[in-house]
Structure formats: structure tokens, C-alpha cells
Structure 1
Amino acid sequence: MKASLIEISLDDLADARLGRVLVLTVNNRHARRLLSHLSSTLGAERPVMAVPDILPFKAWVRQATEQLAFVDGALLAAHRLDAFGARLLWQQVIRESEPEHYLLDIPQAAKLASEADQLMSSWMLSVPDSACTPDYERFAAWREAYRRRLDEADAEDDTLGLERVSEAMARGQLQLDFDTVVLAGFNELSPRLHDMLDTWAASGTRLGRLTEHLEPASSMVRVCAPSPEKEWQWAVQWAYDQLRQDAQGCYAILAPQLESQVPLAHRLLHGKLSEHGFAYNIAVARPLAQWPMVRAAVLWLELMVQSAAGSCTPAAAGQALLAGHCAAHEAEAGARGMLDAQWRHARVLTLMSPDLLHALHEATPRLAQAWSLLQEQLPHEHEIANISQWVIRIKALLSTLGFPGGMSLDSVAHQVLEAFEQALDNLGRQRVVLQNIGFAQAVRALSTLLLQTTFQPQRDLSARLDVLGLLEAEGGRWDGVWVLGLNDEVLPAAPSPNPFIPLVVQRHAGTPRATPERELEWARASYEMLKRSAPILVVSSAAFEGERELRPSPFVARLPLSEIEIPNDEPAVAVMELLIDDQGPILSPGSSTPGGVAVLETQARNPLWAFVRFRLGARQLAAYADPAQQAVRGMFLHSCAELFCTAVRSHQQLLALQQDGGHALSELLQAQIARAAHEHLGHYAPVVRDLECARALGVMTAWAQLEANREPYEIVALEEASVWQHGALNLKLRLDRVDKLASGERVVIDYKTGGARLDPHADWVRRPPLSLQLPFYAAVLGASQNDVSALVLMRLHAKQVAVSGLTDREIGLEGLAQSDSWQEFEGLDWSEIMARWRQDIESLAQAYANGWAANNTRHASDLEYCDVLPMLRLYEEADDDI
């Protein structure tokens, strides 16, 4: 039997002949809209009315479940799990059922399993043996274990609650105290809901479907924009024009993919509407965890978890400090930021808890006082409790910290704080699922809940423009609507059947989203709703998204394209006055010049970069130290080479160590490698450290053989610092190594431990040159002796130990280029090359000292490692009209 539903209009809801009326809506938003409409009908002709009970269907099920508490034999569960608690239980069940951990994303599996359980219950699906799939068999095992865990805990979730209500109604245990039940906003009815309606109908209850006879749009226009960005620009401009022309009108922009386009929408709407005094509402709720105040609370709690274990990472401490919302939130904000920057630039890997407290005392005394008190309240690392107890502790810890910071809160901040407190209370009600857990697990559970809990501030009542998704717009009515993004990937969308239920079962039952036919049916209903959402309707799509061609939705493709006229109210472009400011102040004599030769290197790449970086002291905030990402291996090999050269100062000593099979050389190398490993690899695991030492031994052995094949030499300088003064500029240079040959000539050596191939040709023939360290020493610092005969880049790497560079003559190192072999130096002898470099380097030094700061870059690759890119404002040259 399928109960018949009579049509009931909004005006009929106040008809006394319907008796007591229960209106069941598809969601909360629909219930609020109906109540608002009924309230708006009150006036002189109808001063009072009997308002029907208007409830979302899920809320009514919960009410009905509570009524079962007063019914004998109704088997009411003692605990009720909300969606978050149910998802946690699904995760626990799946994790226990899959001990091999083949599933990499258990939370996603739990989400799909929960949806599959709800689908099977609502649509009363059964899977015959012939349709079983391996995925369904795994899900069925999880579902059985999940239901068993609920039974053991005397608990139920929303799905089981609906089943209990449905069964109680069928047994006559649950009586409905209404004369009429009206369904509002339901595009389809599940088999379980049909059964419940049949039960009501059998008991004499009148059943109805709320119908709103809205006229289709009288004006309907289709436009095609060249890109989604331009489409948004047109829609925002249209909305601005409508609001300006109609002082009382209400309008909407509907976007099927609004959630992914929110940043673009906010930017365009703020620039066009807010600056002209028009308020708007964007109906997209963000996860509560993304709101700054809540994010700060989570970061501080995660830092407390680490601190309770005795140490923390600078990333955890720094991010919490930057987030603030603690004691002295505003007064010590700058000091907290400076402390974070110090840890970043010092490449600190770990902060012990006493060191963190000491650093806070030095920089942020008021926060340090709160943090010191908090340390006494931190739980022990292995302390366990249930989640309700942990929530009490978490609230106390945040209070001691000074959360939310003591500053005045605006309306939105108050709403965020209230939502956060509600989320904490909600977490405390999950003790059925979260028992005997530690502090870290409790904080992790809170973080997950905050990610799954969405929040949106209350709607601005003065706003006359709503920006909504298609689902949020269902049943709405405005004076004009622009629907953008209507391409054939959105309306209709591709089907998305639940992967745990066999597709043949879903297709046979006609479950939502299972088949193209169902998606087409939903799209058709949505399109009909859109056509009745306003008397003025504009539908649009984009022709391209990047280089990908888009096609309009088949529902609008047959509409003729229109050239919509969108007035541009922007003021006429004024004549721009151009001021080229490439000249900074001249460097004062005696000024400290940090950066060494890097100052000239940067000046050669981009003078403005050098000015910003070394004169203004600006640079990108360094990333937090990470052992896996740091150049630890390079520093380790560099240290090995330095220690070895300190012990073996000449070619003669090296040859002596190679005698008798090289045992003495091997022992020396191993000893020096062990010393370097103790200094640089102390935080590595023993196995990894041993592997790195074995790798280093191979590299150093190959390097020693390369050195042995050279012309005799003596090391005359290791890590020697030199100072060069040019006018007001003072620069320091530190070279890895300088050798002296038997002829008295010098060889300048720089170690390179990276994996990239070394070839200085392109850098050294440029004017001005790059990679200046060796040319600077040879042409400028060594100019008085004029005895440098080779510039050597020595690559120390497991893939290859080799050299490259430039030499005046053969010195026994394969890989060095003769100076006359480079075409760019044709016709120049060695001294002329040095003179050319010296001239270019002195010109760079003079330009820097004179304050020359032009934003000139010869090649885009010159800025590959620029740490002040925003200051160069290169984005202004991009061809971007957004």
C-alpha cells in the first residue's frame, strides 16, 4: 500500500479544518523558511493564527524516540550517538576488523560505511547471494560488528533510532497526536518513510504534500562567459546593478560549485558591494576548526600534548604563538612572532619543555606566567580517562592559558566562541565511544570533531543579496536570480553510487545518486525549481576553464545566447603619473654589511632584491627545521672533507697514507667520518646513521683517489676568512680551501655536495658574472699576488666525485676547462679574464653602495631562490584581469 498525499498550500496550513498539523521538512533551513513565511502573513486581516508544528524529519524522529521512553516494551536504548559519535564507532570497528591495515583511509571508509548503513535501512535494501561483491561482504562484516557494539553499549544512532520508531509505529506503540501530517521539500520518499506514512494513513491521519504554485520566470536570459572568473565578475556586476536600481529588491547568485569558489566570490563581492554599502550573505559554512579562535585553541592543546611528553617541535610552539588567543594576546603579539622567527632561522629541531618555558620568560613574561601555571595542570603522558573527564580538563587548561585572549569580541567572535563551547560539550557526550583514552587521543578527537562541525555566522538581516549553492536555494524566492556554472558536468552530475552496496541492488531499488537516470531526474527537478525562483532569471556557463573546453548543461543549451549588457560604473581611467624610484640612499661609510659576497651575487641578479634583502633586512620567513628536509647530508660531507684536510695537509702526506694497501688512509677516513657523524647525525636513528657513514666512506675514498692523481700541492688555507673593502662597502668571504702548487701558484677550491651537475660556464661568462665566490677571490682578493691559476668546484656526492671549473694550465684535475676553450673568453688571456671580473665586481659593489635598486632581472631563473619576491611586485606584470 502506498498512502496518497493531498496537495496543501501554505495558506491551507492555517485552516482550522485540518485540525492539529505537523509539518515535516527535509532540513532545518526549510523549516525556518516556512515559519518565517507564516509569520509574514500576520497583519490586520489575520492578527493571530494557530501555527502548526514545523520540524525537520530527523528532529521529529528524535522526539518520537524520546516518547518511547514512556512506552512499555519499546526497548529504548540508554544512549544516543550523534553523527560524530557514530562515525568514531565505525572507525573503531573497521580498524579492529582490518588488523592488516590494508585500508589507508579508515575515516573515509567509515564515512562511506555509515552512509551505506543508512541507505540500506532507509531504502530497506537486501542483497541476494548472487549480487554479493567482496566490498559488500567486508561492509556486511563491519555492519554486523558495528550493530553488536551498539547493542553491547545499549546505544543507538540515527539509523537505528529511525528503525525503532518505524517498528514501534507498526506495532501501535507510538501514537501520533496530530490530525494532519504535511511533507515539505521532499523530492522523493524512501520505502521506510512510505511505510510510516501507510501506518499513519491506516490510523486515520490525513497526509499531505506542501505545494507552492510559483510562476516560472517571466524573463530568462542565457549568457556564456569566456572563463569562470569572468562569469563571476559579470554576476557580481549584475547584482550590484540590480541592488542600485531597486532599493527594496532581494536578489541571489546561485553557484553549484560555490564551496570551492568562496575566496573568489568574497574578493569580488567585497570589492564591488561592500565598498558601496551593500551587504551580502554567502551561505557556505566553514569547518569550525578553520576559524582563527578555534584553530588557536587546537594548536595550543596540541602543544600541551607535546609538552606533557617532555619536549615539543618549534613548529608546534611557533604556530601556537602566532595563533595567539592566549594571555596578553595583543600586548605580546610582536614578541611571540619574534620568538617564532628566531627558532626558524636558528634551525632549531627540538625544544625541551624547560627550554620553552625559559624562552617564554625572556620574550613574553605574561604568557610565561600562564604557561608556568599550566605546566602544573598538564596530565601525565600515560594518564587515561573517559572523554567527559578530559573535556573538563581541556576547559581548565585553556582557561589557565588565558583563552580566548582577553580582548573585546565582536558579534562573529562571540558566535564562534559559543559554537566552540557547544562542540566541547558535544565531545563530552561521546563517553560511550571514547573511554579509557589519553590526553593526546582526546585532543585528536576534538580536532576531528571541529573539522566535521561546520559553522556560519548568523545571516546579516540587512543583506539583500544571497549567494548560495543549489541545495541551499531549494524553495527560495527572490526578485532576480543569476545561476552560474551551469555546465554539463554539474547539471546533471555524474552518478556516485555507494561503493559498498552492489550497484545492481542500488539500480533496482532506484536509490539516490546511483544511476545516470536518477541524476537526470534530480537535475530536472532542480532546474524546474530554479525556473521558479525569481521573475528575472539569468543562467550562465563558462566556455573554458583554463585550457579545458566546457559545454553548457543540456537544460539550458537550447536557450538562445544573449549579449547581456552589464554597465560599467567604474570611473574613467585617469592619466597616470609614472615615477621611477630606482635610487635608494647611499651607503654610509663604516656601515655594517651582512651577507658577504652574496650581496654582490644578489645585486647581479636583481638590484632591488639586494636592496630589500641587505639594506632593508627583509626576507621570507624561514620554514621550520625538519631533519628530513635539511641539508644535513651536505653539511656532514663538508665536515668530513674539512676534518680530513686538517689532518692531511699535502699531496705527499696523502700518498704516504695510500701505501701498504691504503689501510692507514681507510682508518683515518673512518675516524674523521665518525667525528663528523657525532656532530651532524646525532638525531638520526643508528641504522640510518650507519648507512650515511658507509656512504660517506665511499665518497671520501673516491675523493682521496682523485686528490692523489693531482699535481703535488700543499693546503695553505682552510675555511679562511677574508675582508674586502670598496668605498663604504665592507664584505667578508670565507673559502673552503686554498692550495699552493709546487710552482707557487694557487688553486682555489669550493666543495659542492648537492646532486646537481656542476658547470659554472654560464654563470662565469655573464656580465656581470654569477656564482661569484671563486671569481671574487681570484680577481679581487688575489689580485695583489696575481698567482691564482685555477678555480675548482669539487663535487662530493655518491653518484659522482668530480671537478669542474676554469684553469690557466693543466694541473692534473680532469674536468677543468682551459680558459681559452670558452668562446666567450676568446682572445683574452688569464690576466685579462681576471681584470674583466674585477671590473664587473667593483661595478656591482659601487652600484650597491650608491643605492642603485632597479627592479631589473635578466633571466627568470635568476629569481628561482629569491626570498623577497612579494617586494619585487612581479605579479603586476602578469596578464591577469581579475
Structure 2
Amino acid sequence: MIDTFPTITLEALSRLDTQDVLVLTVNNRHARRVLAEMSASLTGTRSVMAVPDIIPLSAWLRQAADQLSFSPESGLAAHTLDAFGAQWLWQKVVGEAESDRALLDVAQAARLAAEADRLIDDWHIHIPPELETIDYQHFREWRRSYRALLARLDMEDSNLAYGRIVQAVVSGLLKKPAGTLVLAGFNELSPRLSGMLLAMQEQGTRLVVLERPAQEAETVRRVVASDPDGEWRLAVQWAAGQLRDHPQGRYAIVASRLEADVVLAHRCLRAELVDAQGNVLPYNVAVARPMSDWPLVAAAISWLRVLAAFVTKKTCPPADVGAALLAGACAAARHEASGRAAIDVFWRWRATVTVTEPGFARLLDQHAPQLAQAWRSSCDMLSEQSNSASIDVWVQRFRQSLQALAYPGQSVLDSHSYQQLEAFDGLMDNLARQAPVMGRVGFSSAVGLLQRLARETPFQPQRDPAARLDVLGFLESEGGHWDGVWVLGLTDEVLPAAPKPNPFVPLAVLRQARAPRATPERELHWAKTLYRSLLASAPQVWLSHAEYEGERELRPSPCIAAIAPSINVPEQAATAPCPLEYIPDEQGPPLQTGHSTRGGIAVIDTQARNPLWAFAKYRLGASELANYAELSDQNARGLLLHKAIELVWRMLPDQQALLDLYAQGSLRALLEQSAEQAADECLQDYGSVVRRLETDRTILILEQWLQLELRREPFRVRDVEQNYVWTHGALQLSLRLDRIDELEDGRLAVIDYKSGGGRLDPKPDWMRERPVGLQLPFYASVLAAEDARVAALVLARLHAREVEVKGLADADYGFDGLSTLTDWSMFAGSTWEQLMSEWRRIICQMADEYAAGVARNHSLRPDDIQYCDVLPFLRLNEEYTRVD
């Protein structure tokens, strides 16, 4: 159909009476290009030009709907839904109709249903009964319910409005838009659009197609890269070379998967596009991100989520409040940034599960007083206006509350930030227009709708006019013209792409209607059209594809397979090796006397694993930022077990008391009492059902453990959860022992409880040059300083799967699982006193190293740093990091 219309050049178009000309483009991008090309034709002798109306088809349809609204006989509804409102209604209809289908993705089904609805109308698709599918029958019921709901609400979506405009044009109710109608950027016309254009032609409108300049590529080369990353580097090196050789030229890189490769693209571009002064040359990457991903929009939504949670629920998860604090864009955004970060870190390290509004306000008073004042103003304002309301009312409340928070802060906005604010303001206006369809909603629901709209609305800052390089996707490149173009990713999976027929319209009907994306033939036709457009986009065109993606072999697109690969592949400029000077930095300043060191035995254990790790963590105070706490991550089960067994042995002084209680049949009652008391302290954030399950599990584990205690040799409990301080030179460490028993021979057994399910055997950790897992040997060393002789080091696993004991002992004290020195080959020739003395020497050596500032990046085994929380300090990518 499009080929039957006559063509017109830009020059001829500029000579027409612009007041009687309308240029309809396929989208906004083509409208801007047509305007730019007309402006480029201005010369010194012709500096002014009258320009006709150049608008996308969708914008003209909105104008026509506005014009028809003044005609009572047009039949237009009172409200026209935009895409967001229509999608919301579709989702509501589908959700209600399929409420019994829990596995149905309602949002995805609603999106495809809206697409099918427009597809059927655009392409005049009729589905005969014999071709109906189950999916189509479901869709037909949804469509009937959706349109009935629109009629009740006196609304119509853009699809129905399009149909009414076509009817108005055909009937003559809507007058012809112009004497000459110019189509720009259309590769094909749907039957509905064709019918409307023919009706305009019958009414006297002249229909023409804007002729694109006939520009065939003078040079077309095909490049084969080893992998997609190498392909990007080749393309960027080519662009950098072109810009150096032709600074006034305009070039483009067209990528088939730009959205997926955008991070790689930016990395390659910033590495290559560097001028002589070291500045990165400007470039444009045409990838629109959801508005919810842009910093100022994300900050506004984060603050509104926090306000909604505190106003309606009086509490808020720390992750949500932390996101708002770190996003800033509020009162004293720059001056109180460190204070806001300190609040966030406080919640992380304290493993806070829930933040209350009074608690949050107190922390703001302490760390961010200016924000505290703004917060109270905003919170008080919304507390008085928290009742449900229409969405336009909520938008007004959102604006007032953000203004009270001094959003977006007092700093000077750059161009991108200003554009974000403008786009966000438009987004709020768009949300307010949904009032007729949304009805009355609550605070949290209104914020959720705003967040969803921001997530579904793409935004891209305006193009940098100084940029000479554009990085675009296939669709964005259509109709563009440059001095040189590199097209990458041209595999047979991309051009042509696999068909994606709409599942709610029978495939046989789609094939018969030749609907877009429905059949391989349609995809091949689109691929050939796009390929011709790419070849006409520049005098010099490079076409590339990768041979492999990982281990998967890739094949070139059929469009380029006949072109022989070029041997003149741009190569990276050779660079002479740069001499590197290595400065070993393995020694820090000694520890000052009186300097407190937090971490307890972990300091010595970390020094044994990797001295640099210990120095960074405990001397520099560096560590990985903890995640926000969740109930499942709190180790409440381990805390509960530790607390319960502590309570048991605080009430039982020795084994004889345990035997007596067991003989009386009262042991179970003691365990239940201890478990309940421990649950009161450790399970405050859990519900009654989980609390009951966990206390029952704890009682079961304690019963199994105490059966082992009953079979031991006689003992007396000397200490439970006792705090000790160990001092060695300038180093002073505090530690806490789970339990110490005094045995029948007067010697001591040190017991450390483990509630996890990991490996318990300490043998490989203790029998090595620099022992790790030193809790029990270290405790023995501390007690030795008090002239107390330790005879048993006991690791006790308290777990529902297994209760067991591991460790070392100097004699048989009735604990099944304890080893003697003769059982471990490395210690077989030593006495118990010699082993204790050696361990004390090693522990003191580790303490001396730490206090002296030794910070070697040295580990005996790779798994020594498996749980390291300062990995960047260890420079694992450097050759001089040793793992022996």
C-alpha cells in the first residue's frame, strides 16, 4: 500500500504552502529527524524557512480526538485512558476473571491481551469459530468484560479512540487535516490506517510519501570478531579512529542488543574516546532506562514509601528507610550525608528488623538535625491527610510532602538532574490523570501506583549536541544518516529474529493477515527492510558478528553471509610495556599502648589466616557493609539454643544435680522453662506458631545433649558465659567463654557450643603451621595465665540433625568423640603440657605480629579467606598476592 503513493523530496516539501501541509511520522524520533533535515537545508542566502506541522501519528490521533470532543454526534467517551490506565484496567479484568489460576502471570497476560486487542483492530482480523483456540476464548471473554467496564465508566482507551477517529474520517464528521498529507518513516501501513488514509484521499487530501535521499554505501565491509566483547572493542576502536581522523564527522555504532550491552559499551567508549588532554569525548548512547532507576526519581519514591509506612503502619523495614537516607535529595542533602549514612550503618550492624517512627526521629535528631525538622513537618502534614482519596488528590499530597522535605535538596542541578525533575513532574501529572479509573485508594496503594508508573515509563536525557558519535539500537537507527556506521551483532539469531506471535490470536489467522512478528516470512521481510536502511545510512558501513559466545558457536546473518570477511580489521594500537615499580607495603605502624581493639579471639584468628585482612579489618576499621537484617538471617535459632543451655546450667551447679533432676522426672519441666524464657528474649519478632516450633526443637536438642552430659565423668560447672580480658603487650582483647567445667581431677574442660550444620572437626585447623579456629586453644591460653590447667577442649554441636562432640582431651572424661594426642599424628610425640605451651607461643606470636603492625598479604590455604569481608584490600588480581 505504501508503495502506491507518490513521493516528494525535502526540497519540494519546503516549497509547499506549509499552512496546508501535514507531515505524519511513524514516531517522535522521525519527526525530529525530518525537522533537522529541513533546517540543515538553510544556507547563507536562505536563513528562514516556514516549517509545516511535523508530528507523529499518535500525536495527531490525540489532536483529532480533542477536535472530535466538540462534536456531540462523535460518540467519544468522557475520558480517554492512556497506556498506563488501560493496562491497569486490563490487569484488573484478567485478575478477576482468572482468580482461580494461581500460576497465571496476570500482568504479562494483561499486556499481551491489550496488544492482541489492538492487533485485531489494526489488521482487521476475524477469527472464525473453527480456528478458535483455548487461549483466544479466554481472551475473548476478557475483552468483552474489559469493554463493558469501559462503557460503564464512560471511558475508552487509545485503541477504541483510534477506531472512532477512523469512523469520523470515513463519515466526513472529521474534516481532512490538510491539503497535502506527507507520510515519513512508514515501511508499511496496517489495514486500519490504510482505510483512514484512503478516506482522506477521497475527500481531496493529496497523499505523498517523503522520499529519503538515495544514499548507497560506497564501502561495505564485514568483520568477524572472536566474541561479543571483542566485537564491541573493535567497533569502538574504529569509532575512535574515525573521530581522530575526521573531527567534524558524524558516526554511529548500531548494536542489536544495546540494552543488554550498555554497561560494556560505556566501559569500552570511556577507555577509547580520550583526547590528548585525557578527557573523554562526548558521545550519546540511545538507551532509555525506567524513570524509577534515575537517582532523583528513585529518591522521591523512596521517601514517599517511608512516609506511607510510618503514617499507616507506624513501622518501616530498615532497608526502605536506608534507601531513602542514602538517596538524599532532601533537606541538608550534602551537609548531613555522613549523618544519614551513619544511621543506615547503625541499623545494619545492630541487625535491626523493624524501625519505629519515634526511633527514626531520635536518630535524625542526633545525626541529621536539619532533616529531622523537615521530616517532622512532612510526617505531620501527611498524618492529618492520610485518609483514602482519589489519585489526583494523592499527587497533590505527594508534592506537598516532598516540598516539606526540601526535595530535591539545595545543591545546584546539572542538566540531567533538571531533566529528571521535569520528567518526574510530568509523571506525577500523568498519574493524576488516572483518577477516573483508579477511584479512591489508600496511601500505600497510591505510592505503589506511582512506583509502578515510574517503572513502566522510560526516560532518556536529551542528546548532547556536541557529540559526534551515536550508539543506537536497530529501531533508533532507521532513517538516520552519518558519515560512517558500524553495525554489530549481526548473527542469524538477530537478523532475522525469531517470530513472536501473540498467543491470544490463533497463529493461522495471524499468518493469513500477515500481521507483524507473527511468521518467519514477516520477520525476514522486516530484516531485509532494516538491512537496506542500514546500508543507506552512511557512505562507509562496517558489518560485524562474533564467532563464539562462550562455548556456543554463532553464525552470520543471511543478509551478510555473502560478503567476504574483511582482512583490514582495525587493530588496537600497540603500546609499549610500561615499567612498573612494586613497593611492598607489608608493615603498618605498631599498636599504641592503651588502644582498644574490638573483635576478641577473631583478631588472632584473622591474623593467622591473613595478616593484611586483620590489619584492614581491626586496625583500619574497614569491613564489608552488612546487609539489612531479616528474620531468617538473625541466627535466632543459634541464639535461642545458647541462651537456653546457659539458663539450664545456671540452675544446675553440677552433674549430680542433673542426675537428681533426671531421676525425679523433672528434667523436662526445667528444659521447657529454660526454652520459654530464652524464647521471650530471642524470638520477640516471631509469631506464635514459629515460636512454638522453635521452642519444641530446642527442648528436643537439649534433651539429646543432656543425655551425653549424664554419661560423662563427674564435673562441676565453674563458669557459664563468663567474660575475660586477655592482655599481651599493647594488645588487649575481651572474650566470652560459653562454659567451663571443673573435672573430678581438678582440671578444667572448656566447652564451646556450635549450633550450625557445618564441619565440626577441628583437626585440620589445629594441626598446621599457623593454626586457625583458635577459640578453644586461645581460651586455654587465657586460663593458663590464671594458673588453671585445662585438660579438655570440647566443641559441642547442638543441632536437630545430630548432637556430637569433637576436640582434644588429656584423659578419658566420658565424652564420646574427643581425641587424644596419640590420635593426631602431628601431636603424637608431644605431651599435653608441650602442646599447650606451643599453642600459647603461637598465639602470642600472632598477637605480637598484630601489635607490631605486620600486614603481609599471605594465606596458607585459599579457603582461609573464604569469608573475608575486606577482599579488595587483598588485591587478589595482583600477581604478588601469595596463597601458598
- The residue that corresponds to 2:282 in the other structure is 279
Please give the secondary structure, in 1, of the residue aligned with 2:147.
helix
What letter is aligned with 2:845?
S
- Worse overlay, 296-305 or 516-525: 516-525
Provide the C-alpha distance between the structure 2 equivalents of 1:819 and 1:551, rounded to a whole number of angstroms. 65
Q: Deviations over 1:545-576 (max 9, x none)?
A: 23333222222233222244535457633321
**Aligned pair in 2 of structure 1 residues 717, 6: CA closer, same or farther (>3 Å)?**
same
Provide the C-alpha distance between the structure 2 equivalents of 1:571 and 1:255, rounded to a whole number of angstroms. 28
What letter is aligned with 2:840?
R
Query: Are 1:18 and 1:179, in contact at CA under 8 Å, matched by a contact in 2?
Result: no
Q: Does 1:494 align with 2:483?
A: no
What letter is aligned with 1:23?
V
Out of 567, 572, 579, the position equivalent to 1:575 is 579
What letter is aligned with 2:793?
L
Q: What is the 5 A alignment of 1:446-525?
A: 446-525=450-529
- The residue that corresponds to 1:116 in the other structure is 116
Out of 297, 307, 310, the position equivalent to 1:307 is 310
What letter is aligned with 2:433?
R
- The residue that corresponds to 1:149 in the other structure is 149
Query: Are 1:379 and 1:439, in contact at CA under 8 Å, matched by a contact in 2?
Result: no
**Aligned pair in 2 of structure 1 residues 878, 422: CA closer, same or farther (>3 Å)?**
farther
The offset of 1:757, in angstroms, is 3.5
Q: What is the 5 A alignment of 1:207-356?
A: 207-273=207-273, 275-276=278-279, 278-308=281-311, 309-356=313-360
Query: TM-score normalised to the size of structure 1?
Result: 0.96
The offset of 1:634, in angstroms, is 0.8
Provide the C-alpha distance between the structure 2 equivalents of 1:437 and 1:414, rounded to a whole number of angstroms. 30
**Aligned pair in 2 of structure 1 residues 75, 817: CA closer, same or farther (>3 Å)?**
same
Out of 599, 609, 612, the position equivalent to 1:608 is 612
- The residue that corresponds to 1:390 in the other structure is 394
Provide the C-alpha distance between the structure 2 equivalents of 1:10 and 1:877, rounded to a whole number of angstroms. 62
Query: Are 2:185 and 2:479, in contact at CA under 8 Å, matched by a contact in 1?
Result: yes
Please give the secondary structure, in 1, of the residue aligned with 2:73.
coil
**Aligned pair in 2 of structure 1 residues 381, 51: CA closer, same or farther (>3 Å)?**
closer
Query: Are 2:258 and 2:473, in contact at CA under 8 Å, matched by a contact in 1?
Result: yes
The offset of 1:581, in angstroms, is 0.9
Provide the C-alpha distance between the structure 2 equivalents of 1:358 and 1:185, rounded to a whole number of angstroms. 60
Provide the C-alpha distance between the structure 2 equivalents of 1:808 and 1:548, rounded to a whole number of angstroms. 60
- Worse overlay, 107-116 or 291-300: 107-116
- The residue that corresponds to 1:871 in the other structure is 873
Query: Are 2:223 and 2:569, in contact at CA under 8 Å, matched by a contact in 1?
Result: no
- The residue that corresponds to 1:845 in the other structure is 847
The offset of 1:785, in angstroms, is 4.2
- Worse overlay, 416-425 or 191-200: 191-200
Query: Are 2:783 and 2:790, in contact at CA under 8 Å, matched by a contact in 1?
Result: no
The offset of 1:670, in angstroms, is 0.4
Provide the C-alpha distance between the structure 2 equivalents of 1:549 and 1:830, rounded to a whole number of angstroms. 63
- Worse overlay, 186-195 or 571-580: 571-580
Q: Deviations over 1:271-298 (max 9, x none)?
A: 3225445211111111111111111111
Provide the C-alpha distance between the structure 2 equivalents of 1:485 and 1:269, rounded to a whole number of angstroms. 17
- Worse overlay, 824-833 or 349-358: 824-833
- The residue that corresponds to 1:534 in the other structure is 538
Query: Are 2:22 and 2:177, in contact at CA under 8 Å, matched by a contact in 1?
Result: no
Q: Deviations over 1:792-815 (max 9, x none)?
A: 111111111111122233222222
Out of 596, 610, 618, the position equivalent to 2:600 is 596
Q: What is the 5 A alignment of 1:788-867?
A: 788-867=790-869
- The residue that corresponds to 1:763 in the other structure is 765
What letter is aligned with 1:125?
I
The offset of 1:697, in angstroms, is 1.4
The offset of 1:507, in angstroms, is 2.0
Q: What is the 5 A alignment of 1:90-129?
A: 90-100=90-100, 102-103=102-103, 105-129=105-129
Query: Are 1:650 and 1:714, in contact at CA under 8 Å, matched by a contact in 2?
Result: yes
- The residue that corresponds to 2:648 in the other structure is 644
The offset of 1:255, in angstroms, is 0.7
Provide the C-alpha distance between the structure 2 equivalents of 1:488 and 1:819, rounded to a whole number of angstroms. 68
Structure 1 gaps of 5+ residues are none
**Aligned pair in 2 of structure 1 residues 155, 586: CA closer, same or farther (>3 Å)?**
same
What letter is aligned with 1:53?
D
Query: Are 1:745 and 1:787, in contact at CA under 8 Å, matched by a contact in 2?
Result: yes
Please give the secondary structure, in 2, of the residue aligned with 1:658.
helix
Provide the C-alpha distance between the structure 1 equivalents of 2:523 and 2:78, rounded to a whole number of angstroms. 39
Provide the C-alpha distance between the structure 2 equivalents of 1:432 and 1:700, rounded to a whole number of angstroms. 62
Query: Are 1:20 and 1:179, in contact at CA under 8 Å, matched by a contact in 2?
Result: yes
Provide the C-alpha distance between the structure 2 equivalents of 1:636 and 1:644, rounded to a whole number of angstroms. 12
The offset of 1:469, in angstroms, is 0.6
Provide the C-alpha distance between the structure 1 equivalents of 2:491 and 2:126, rounded to a whole number of angstroms. 36
The offset of 1:536, in angstroms, is 1.1
Structure 2 gaps of 5+ residues are none
Q: What is the 5 A alignment of 1:780-791?
A: 781-782=783-784, 785=787, 787-791=789-793
Please give the secondary structure, in 2, of the residue aligned with 1:378.
helix
Q: What is the 5 A alignment of 1:532-571?
A: 532-566=536-570, 568-569=572-573
Query: Are 1:724 and 1:781, in contact at CA under 8 Å, matched by a contact in 2?
Result: no
Query: Are 2:18 and 2:52, in contact at CA under 8 Å, matched by a contact in 1?
Result: no
Q: Deviations over 1:812-834 (max 9, x none)?
A: 22222232222333433333332
- The residue that corresponds to 2:8 in the other structure is 8
Pairwise CA RMSD = 2.1
- Worse overlay, 220-229 or 328-337: 220-229
The offset of 1:677, in angstroms, is 0.7
The offset of 1:47, in angstroms, is 5.2
Q: What is the 5 A alignment of 1:347-426?
A: 347-379=351-383, 383-426=387-430
**Aligned pair in 2 of structure 1 residues 375, 71: CA closer, same or farther (>3 Å)?**
closer
**Aligned pair in 2 of structure 1 residues 563, 831: CA closer, same or farther (>3 Å)?**
farther
Counting matched residue pairs gives 877
Provide the C-alpha distance between the structure 2 equivalents of 1:802 and 1:9, rounded to a whole number of angstroms. 88
Q: Deviations over 1:585-628 (max 9, x none)?
A: 11122321211110011111111110010001111111112112
Query: Are 2:654 and 2:717, in contact at CA under 8 Å, matched by a contact in 1?
Result: yes
- Worse overlay, 251-260 or 131-140: 131-140
Query: Are 1:3 and 1:201, in contact at CA under 8 Å, matched by a contact in 2?
Result: no
Provide the C-alpha distance between the structure 1 equivalents of 2:596 and 2:741, rounded to a whole number of angstroms. 31
Query: TM-score normalised to the size of structure 2?
Result: 0.96
The offset of 1:468, in angstroms, is 0.5
Q: Deviations over 1:139-185 (max 9, x none)?
A: 22221111112111211111111111112222222221423323221
Q: Deviations over 1:498-524 (max 9, x none)?
A: 122222222222211112222122111
What letter is aligned with 2:284?
N
Provide the C-alpha distance between the structure 1 equivalents of 2:490 and 2:777, rounded to a whole number of angstroms. 61
Please give the secondary structure, in 1, of the residue aligned with 2:437.
coil
Query: Are 2:2 and 2:189, in contact at CA under 8 Å, matched by a contact in 1?
Result: no
- The residue that corresponds to 2:696 in the other structure is 694
The offset of 1:370, in angstroms, is 0.9
The offset of 1:304, in angstroms, is 0.1
- Worse overlay, 586-595 or 241-250: 586-595
**Aligned pair in 2 of structure 1 residues 132, 858: CA closer, same or farther (>3 Å)?**
farther
What letter is aligned with 1:256?
S
- The residue that corresponds to 1:67 in the other structure is 67
Q: Deviations over 1:273-329 (max 9, x none)?
A: 254452111111111111111111111000001110212222222221111111111
Please give the secondary structure, in 1, of the residue aligned with 2:438.
coil
Query: Are 2:65 and 2:165, in contact at CA under 8 Å, matched by a contact in 1?
Result: yes
**Aligned pair in 2 of structure 1 residues 311, 164: CA closer, same or farther (>3 Å)?**
same
What letter is aligned with 2:108?
Q
**Aligned pair in 2 of structure 1 residues 365, 784: CA closer, same or farther (>3 Å)?**
closer
Provide the C-alpha distance between the structure 1 equivalents of 2:132 and 2:642, rounded to a whole number of angstroms. 62
Q: Does 1:633 align with 2:637?
A: yes
Q: Deviations over 1:385-429 (max 9, x none)?
A: 101111111100000111011111111111111111111111111
Q: Which runs of 4+ in 1 moved over 6 A?
A: none
Q: Deviations over 1:478-498 (max 9, x none)?
A: 111111122222112221111
**Aligned pair in 2 of structure 1 residues 42, 156: CA closer, same or farther (>3 Å)?**
same
Provide the C-alpha distance between the structure 1 equivalents of 2:824 and 2:523, rounded to a whole number of angstroms. 68
